A = this chain, B = another copy of it.
Amino acid sequence: MQKLGDLMNKRVTLKDIAHATGVHVSTVSRALDPKRDTPLTDDVVLRIRQAAEKLGYRPNRIASSLRTQRTMTIGVMIPDITNMIFPPIVRGIESVMEPLGYASIIVNTDSQRGREQRLVEILQDRGVDGIIHTAVLLEDPTIERAAGAGLPVVTLNRRIEGTHIPYIINDEAAGISAVFNLLYDLGHRHIAHLAGPQLLSTGQLRLNAFRAAAADRRLDTKAMTIVEAAQFHETDGRRSASEILLRAPETTAILCANDRLALGAIDHCRKVGLNCPTDISITGFNDMPLLELIPPRLTTVRIQQFEAGAAAARLMAAILAGQGEDVPVETILPVLLVERDSVAAPRSARVTGR
């Protein structure tokens, strides 16, 4: 049984309902507006509602958007959805925005500046009501300009200096500090850092946190081995681990800026005959899925992806609801140290200490 409105295969509009009920379209519009302020007779409202129901009316969002200048759509910019850390963020955003009637247009920037710029324009052309931007590139003026032009923006993972753009960040410094101290307390003194790309915010943030953690323990940060990977990828993990071992054979622990680098590092160590964790301790960051299936199970730091997305979306929702004044500029989410099997006391500590 088809709905009546389907018969002529044409969308039912306010005008059709107006026709059917004998009132003016404006009256229909008001009757169907849930938060209407104009007074209407209950009888009329009821008749209109029933007619709308019967005809299978569905409001035309396009027309509405044109008039109201709101699309009930937000743009979500991420580097690459195939990177496993982003899907949970996307779902976190969705979990908040969808119930509010917002849809998301997700775009992948591939961390390319030009592409990012183009995508911001595309989103603006489509009239998104706001943009949630999981930033990775440092120094990226595009999104700042959009925000400056009055478009609501919330960033994830990066603070944009000199603006009041609200941002959500995970407490990466605390995470790095936690793993560093774990290693230090086990007796490690030759801790190397396999750093992420320094033109990405997370890469830089974690390197700084590493230096700070080392300084906290009164280690000579200048003497510490730090090798920067070109990408957050196993291949670079392997390459950089190799360089670390070459430059500092005394290294007993490698603190990696991310899980994939750590996996690469473990793999390289295995290849050169170093067992993890008995010969060398290696730590990751992010706690990506499936990690506990890969031996040695990586000790790492879990960050709240879903919650970060949800938090960003909540801020965005508040701004879009006109409560932009009340949203905090900074939101820091706690991280969790996940201790597994890739860390052990260094040989030296085992010999002397036990």
Contacts and interface: CB of A to CB of B under 8 A. Distances in A.
Interface in A103-124: 103-108, 121-122, 124
Could you say how many copies of this chain the assembly holds?
2
A141 to B, nearest CB: 13
A59 interface: yes
A82 B87 contact: yes
A345 to B, nearest CB: 25
Contacts of A197: none
Interface residues of A, number: 43
Contact of A125 (B61, B81, B106, B289): B61
Contacts of A58: 121, 124-125
A105 B103 CA distance: 7
Interface in A284-336: 289-290, 293-295
A149 interface: yes
A91 interface: yes
Interface of A: 6, 9, 58-63, 65-66, 71, 73, 80-82, 84, 87-88, 90-91, 94, 103-108, 121-122, 124-127, 149-150, 234, 263, 267, 289-290, 293-295
What 9 pairs between A and B have smallest CB-CB spacing?
A82-B87, A81-B87, A62-B66, A62-B65, A293-B294, A294-B294, A103-B105, A62-B127, A66-B66
